[in-house]
Structure 1
Amino acid sequence: MKRDSVFRLNHYPPCPDDQFKGRNLIGFGEHTDPQIISVLRSNNTSGLQISLKDGNWISIPPDQNSFFINVGHSLQIVGRRGLHRFQLTLNSRTEQIFVGHLLPQALAPYSKKMACRVQYSMQNSLWFLSSSRFYSQIQSQRVHSRHQKYFCKQLLLSSSFSKGVRSCSCSATTSNIDADINNSNAEAFVLTTPLYYVNAPPHMGSAYTTIAADAIARFQRLLRKKVIFITGTDEHGEKIASAAAANDSSPSKHCDSVSQAYKSLWRDLDIAYDKFIRTTDSKHEALVKEFYSKVLANGDIYRADYEGLYCINCEEYKDEKELLENNCCPMHLKPCVRRKEDNYFFALSKYQKRLEDTLTENPDFVQPSFRLNEVQGWVKSGLRDFSISRASVDWGIAVPNDDKQTIYVWFDALLGYISALLDDKEQPNLQTAISSGWPASLHLIGKDILRFHAVYWPAMLMSAGLSLPKMVFGHGFLTKDGLKMGKSLGNTLEPNVLVHRFGSDGVRYFFLKEVEFGSDGDYSEDRFINIINAHLANTIGNLLNRTLGLLKKNCQSTLAIDSAIAAEGNALKDTVEELVEKARQHYENLELSSACEAVLEVGNAGNVYIDGQAPWSLFKQGGSAFETAAKDLVIVLEALRIIAIALSPITPSLCSRIYTQLGYSEGQFNAVTWNDTKWGGLKRGQVMAQPNPVFGRIELETEAKNAGDSTKKASKKMNKTPKTQKAVEA
């Protein structure tokens, strides 16, 4: 393909004129040439599956920008790095086994002896798959890459086809394909959540941070950026050792258990992270020691005695002036204990001037702006050197050349943002990690750890001669029913309970829509249910359901006209385009609540439009009125298609359901980009799926109770039988 500007394809009839419009259709005839690939149009096949080491099969969704390949009775797949076992299912009745061979070293690094299974539809057709998505799924069992590389660069197929098949050939230049394949120049976007402390299971605060980070990552992927979304767990320190002991467990087993709890919750919340780092990983320990030695060589670490008030929960020494009565920590409301230790210190004060200059010259470094003011206040009040080791804590990374001390948990954990960039098989060193994506584009954190990320961390990086992250964003806290959450108050909000009760879409939408990102926010169950019912079930879900219902009843679920033609001169199209552009700007500015509002307004506009046009009445009139009604349905469905893309960073599962109801495959949804929000995606003749509610309405407990009481009363009334009748029956 590199040498030719033309490649040849066989195609099964009927030949889709709209697909090959403007190209040379050579003709039809019986297929006899096994050297030409035979191509089918998309019929929503499930795509390729791969077998992991544990024997489980996982599916790889098809790539939207690809071809279907008919393989007839035999198939040879050429793959890289050793033999690959391919299991092919034809019409769910028979299986065939195929063997792969080596491809040139330049191609993607697939695992050795990897088993693959190609799932076939009744038409015996197969997607060309995106290589980046294929490799990403092998590594993490997650499918969220938006890199549009063509799998045909990795799979070369030759076939002996069924006889009696008519075919046509067409010519096409490879320039666009090569442009898509060469997506390595995509802009990088690396974002991180905090590495969550595993002294306790995940709570709603950590879930909120991660939901927001996932929404930002999904939006950046829609922009076709090379996204690396990092999360993980911070697993060293005194508090973790104490928590493990309290549960009669070892620190290692305790960390394994809680780390897995985070992964499980992220899966339930549709969190599509790229890297999950644990500070107990061997690669992380190696990097921390190298970084420590680098800072030491720069003269910024020294040894000294220190005595002060220590908060075990914060795992840091506190200034007396920042404590409450009885030397209580203002964060944990527990008394600090006086300690005296021989520790190693980092010369933070040395970087006072450089930090002041950084904050002045780059005001976007800390966001929102009022958080910047807080940080500038801390720095201007004077920075003091801080202890970076603990003599009394065994559960941690040993200080190089002094195994009697362990590295302070924050000096350790912050480096997880860099060690996460390393692949497990890579030699763990700073240079390799830095070249894999540093500096981070965004650190997303809660405001309680702002000082560590906006003061300590930049100074540490300056000392090591490394670049600073581009932005640190500190969001607010969550309250419940207007009160601070806490076990003592009995008003904690458990994310696992919430997501299993209401689903990931409802949880994600409420907290991102109803909490202004950066400020504090409040949760109440009544408000939660009212919001998601009104916005997701009614404004969006009901609009889709009733529109598809009308289309099914009057147009056999088939679009009568292209959406671009249907909306010529239509005000709704202009409104949708304006709102989508607003949503994009809000996403880019991390104004997630406003982005939700803009997309919701598209749904509101669609409801106003369909109510005003009343297509149900127009269909009854027949003639030109019928045509107008059919056109109106296409316009509304196109608005819903755009909603499914524009809201997908917030509610990915809901938007996938919307998209598949519009006649697309899940693989096509996974491959959309922000450019697909342009008006005109739905085409004449496209068949919609059967109407089915995409978001069920949730009842308030009071409503459910009242309904239940009414049912019981009615049931009792119906079951009342006159005593005389009972006597007769007896």
Structure 2
Amino acid sequence: MKRSARLVSHITTPIFYPNARPHLGHLYSSLLCDVQHRWKLLKGVDSLLTTGTDEHGLKIQLASEKNHYKNPREFVDKLYPEFIGLDKFYNVKFTKFIRTTDPSHIENVLKLWELCNKNGYIYKGEHHGWYSISDETFYPESKVIVDPKDPTRHINTESFNEVIYQSETNYYFKLSAFQDKILKYIETEHPEFVYPPSKRDQLLKDLRVNPLQDLSISRPATRLQWGITVPNDPEQKIYVWFDALCNYVSAVGGIDTTIQPATIPSPHWTQTTHLIGKDITKFHCLYWPSFLMASNLPLPKRVVIHNHWISNGMKMSKSLGNVVDPITVGKKYGPDIVRWYLLENSKIDTDGDFIEDNVTGLRQLFVSKWGNLINRCCGQKFNIARAVNTFSMDPYASISSLWKDNDEVTTHIDNIFEQLNKLPEKMDDKIEKFDHSNLLREIWNLINDANSLIQVSKPWENPQLQQDSIIFLCIETARILSILTQPIIPTISNNFLDRIDVKPESRTLDYVIIGADNSYADNANSSKRNVPLEYAPSGTEFTHDM
């Protein structure tokens, strides 16, 4: 597969609410973005990954008071490093980390407000409705019910969080004016804007049943002190979602410098993918495009929506004791093992089920299958460097001719050549579609095929030329897979490549063709070399993958 010219890509995580320590869902969103970003970089694409924390709002204000902080700023200053720490522990290679308390971001929020206001989409009015503090949003009467567990409370039917009825004077955004525009944009003009299609279809269905209503985009300063002040009105604070969504613009340089008018869009912005959890769909797929349309600013390329994680078949809950702490499991099994596990055991349009026993089994599988494939080829009875020099010029013809009388061995050889040749393009397609689970299963199939080839061919019993042909093809399988999986398991894959002496400059997509690298493994068969991956000894705490 050819490396691209310096095309442009930008992917964003949702910015996370630092009212508590990060959980598995935060890691999952970040990981999906990181794999996309790293894959683009491996292809030679100019890529950005932006993330951050959403630090204003009533929920933060109340959490700060509950935890006895002097003020909300002190509270978010304490918590936001936890999110950076999670990313660093799991090797999430973000380009920029945005805090909505950053002065440059606040400046962009005010500019977005002024643009919407100047174009006639903001007005002041009285609001009556059901408000959820947890969700920081109002819900229509049609989505409010009495809590079945407590008849004194009301909850909404979307998040099932409590709502309270309140009346106040707010500023409104004319969201209703964008009903037809949003429908047309998503349904006919840009059907790829919401992905996967199942989420798009559900969004369109909901939009027809529940047409857009004008949106309250401010809160009285008497109730919400922790927020950005509305321009020219110190008695009102800007609605937290109007503030938060603007981070995506702030992250790529801001409204003035990077997001030009829709007729001259920034190259990064027009290639932006927002990756979000399903619970914040309406904010990103309805509110955000409307704010941008109202400001005459271009829309991002697409919004990718993923489902959530449960634990052992049940929703994670502190009372059930099944909440998964991503740092704890990462230290126990290794960050890359958890990365692979989350990708292999999830599909973006269904909830993933975290089962810790399976994570244990995965590390063992890595050692016994992939690590062992490399260990076998690096055995002292073999000579990888000699095999590489012998077969790298014309690998298929020279290897298949040696085994033409052995159908069982030939079947494995043909399958490995065919699958390795197809894999780079397949990876490109599956990563773009966030179809990681099927992709990783194909990688395991190739590793199993290579191990089976060693078993059926028994290279230790064959003459040198046949022996070298098998060792060459099996170590090439390990080498190419290790290059291709750098976006998925960045530490383990490079440990594997280090073990067989692949030079750093030879770990690009230019070298994922069988025989493309004939300069590695000079010292790979030395008895003094360590194994590339180990089982986790009792009491081991991983900060990286051994």
2:83 aligned with 1:262:
yes
1:563-618 deviation per Cα after TM superposition (whole angstroms, max 9, x unaligned)? 34344345232332134432332123221112212222221221121112111222
**Cα deviations across residues 394-423 of structure 1 (Å, max 9, x unaligned)?**
111111111111111100111101101129
1:479 to 307, 310, 314: 310
State the match for 1:641 in structure 2: 479
CA shift for structure 1 position 510: 0.4
Distance in structure 2 (CA, Å) of the matches to 1:574 and 1:556: 22
User: Could you list the per-position Cα deviations for residues 183-213 of structure 1 after superposition, in whole angstroms to 9, with x for gaps in the alignment?
Assistant: 9x61101110000011111111111111111
Counterpart among 186, 208, 213 of residue 380 in structure 1 = 208
**1:193 maps to what in 2?**
13
User: Which one has the bigger helix percentage?
Assistant: 2
Alpha-carbon separation, structure 1, partners of 2:341 and 2:384: 36
- Match of residue 654 from structure 1: 492
Q: Which residue of 2 aligns with 1:11?
A: none
* One-letter code aligned to 2:311: K
Q: Residues 31-62 of structure 1: CA distance to partner in whole angstroms, max 9, x if unpaired? A: xxxxxxxxxxxxxxxxxxxxxxxxxxxxxxxx
Deviation of 1:318 after TM superposition, in Å, equals: 1.2
Please give the per-residue CA displacement for 1:299-358, whole angstroms capped at 9, x wherever unaligned: 000100101111100011112322343321346544311111110111011011111101
- The one of 181, 189, 203 equivalent to 2:23 is 203
Contact 1:583 1:598 in 2 (8 A): no
Q: Is the 8 A contact 1:513 1:596 kept in 2?
A: yes
Of 519, 522, 528, which residue of structure 2 is paired with 1:687?
522
Structure 1 residues 439 and 554: alpha-carbon distance in aligned structure 2, compared to 1, 3 A threshold: closer
Contact 2:333 2:359 in 1 (8 A): no
Give the secondary structure class of the aligned counterpart of 1:197: coil
Which amino acid is 1:287 matched to?
N
Structure 1 residue 495: Cα displacement: 0.8
| Structure-2 separation of matches of 1:525 and 1:294 | 49
State the one-letter code of the partner of 2:65.
Answer: A
What is the alpha-carbon distance in structure 2 between the residues aligned to residue 585 and residue 685 of structure 1? 29
Shift of 1:372: 0.5
Q: Distance in 1 between matches of 2:428 and 2:390?
A: 28
- Closer, same or farther: CA 349–379 of 1 in aligned 2, 3 Å: same
Match of 2:236 in 1: 405
2:96 aligned partner: 275
How many residue pairs are counted as aligned between the two chains? 505
Deviations 1:649-689 (A, max 9, x none): 21111111111112124x436xx333321221331674144
Do the aligned partners of residues 682 and 674 (structure 1) sit closer, same or farther apart at CA in structure 2, a change above 3 Å counting? Answer: closer
Instruction: Give the secondary-structure state (helix, strand or coil) at the position aligned to 2:162.
Output: coil
Query: Could you say what the CA RMSD is over the residues aligned between the two structures, in angstroms?
Result: 2.4
Any conservation in 1 of the 2:52–2:97 contact (CA below 8 Å)? Answer: yes
Partner of 2:319: 488
Higher relative contact order by CA 8 Å / sep ≥ 6: 1 or 2?
Answer: 2
Rounded to whole Å, the distance in 1 between the matches of 2:58 and 2:196 is: 32
Show the 5 A alignment for 1:310-459. 310-326=131-147, 327-330=154-157, 333-361=160-188, 362-381=190-209, 382-391=211-220, 392-422=223-253, 431=260, 435=266, 437-459=268-290
2:343 maps to a residue whose letter is L
Tell me which residue corresponds to 1:593. 437
| Equivalent position of 2:447 in the other structure | 603
Kindly indicate whether residue 513 of structure 2 is the aligned counterpart of residue 678 of structure 1: yes
> One-letter code of the match for 1:371?
K
Deviation at 1:277, TM superposition (A): 0.8
- Report how far residue 490 of structure 1 moved: 2.0
1:339–1:357 CA distance, 2 compared to 1 (3 A)? same
Instruction: Give me the whole-angstrom Cα distance separating, in 1, the residues matched to 2:122 and 2:184.
Output: 23
Give the 3 Å change call, closer, same or farther, for CA 430–629 of structure 1 in structure 2: closer
Q: Matches of 1:430 and 1:586 in 2, distance apart?
A: 30
**1:270 and 1:340 mapped to 2: Cα distance?**
46
Preserved contact between residue 222 and residue 674 of structure 1 (Cα < 8 Å): yes
> What is the SS of the residue equivalent to 1:302?
strand
| 1:410-449 deviation per Cα after TM superposition (whole angstroms, max 9, x unaligned) | 00111101101129xx987854996372134311110000
| Alignment TM-score, normalising by the size of structure 1 | 0.66
Q: Is the Cα–Cα contact under 8 Å of residues 214 and 272 in structure 1 kept in the other structure?
A: yes
Deviations 1:272-312 (A, max 9, x none): 01111111111100111011000001100010010111110
**Equivalent position of 1:668 in the other structure:** 505
Question: Which AA in structure 2 matches 1:641?
Answer: R
Give, in whole Å, the separation in 2 of the partners of 1:244 and 1:564: 65
Q: TM-score, normalised by structure 2?
A: 0.87
Closer/same/farther in 2, CA of residues 348 and 331 from structure 1, 3 Å limit: closer
SS in structure 1 of the partner of residue 268 of structure 2: coil
| C-alpha spacing 1:371/1:556, structure 2 compared with 1 (3 Å) | closer
> Aligned in 2, Cα 1:334/1:360: closer, same or farther, shift over 3 Å?
closer
Q: Distance in 1 between matches of 2:131 and 2:513?
A: 57
CA–CA distance in structure 2, aligned partners of residues 497 and 324 of structure 1 = 38
1:608-623 paired onto structure 2 within 5 Å: 608-618=452-462
Q: Aligned residues: percent identity? A: 30
Residue 484 to residue 556, structure 1, CA distance change in 2 (3 Å): closer
1:522–1:512 distance in 2 versus 1, CA, 3 Å: same
Change in CA separation of 1:700 and 1:345 when aligned onto 2, cut-off 3 Å: farther
Aligned match of 1:523: 354
Partner-residue secondary structure (3-state), 2:236:
strand
Q: Deviations over 1:238-295 (max 9, x none)?
A: 1111112222222112212211111111001010011111111111001110110000
Moved more, 570-579 or 559-568: 559-568
Alpha-carbon contact 2:305-2:348 (below 8 Å) kept: no
1:32-431 maps to which residues of 2 (within 5 A)?
186-249=6-69, 250-326=71-147, 327-330=154-157, 333-361=160-188, 362-381=190-209, 382-391=211-220, 392-422=223-253, 431=260
Could you give the per-residue CA deviations for residues 442-470 of structure 1, whole angstroms, max 9, x where no partner exists? 11110000111111111111111111111
CA distance in 2 between partners of 1:589 and 1:565 (Å): 34
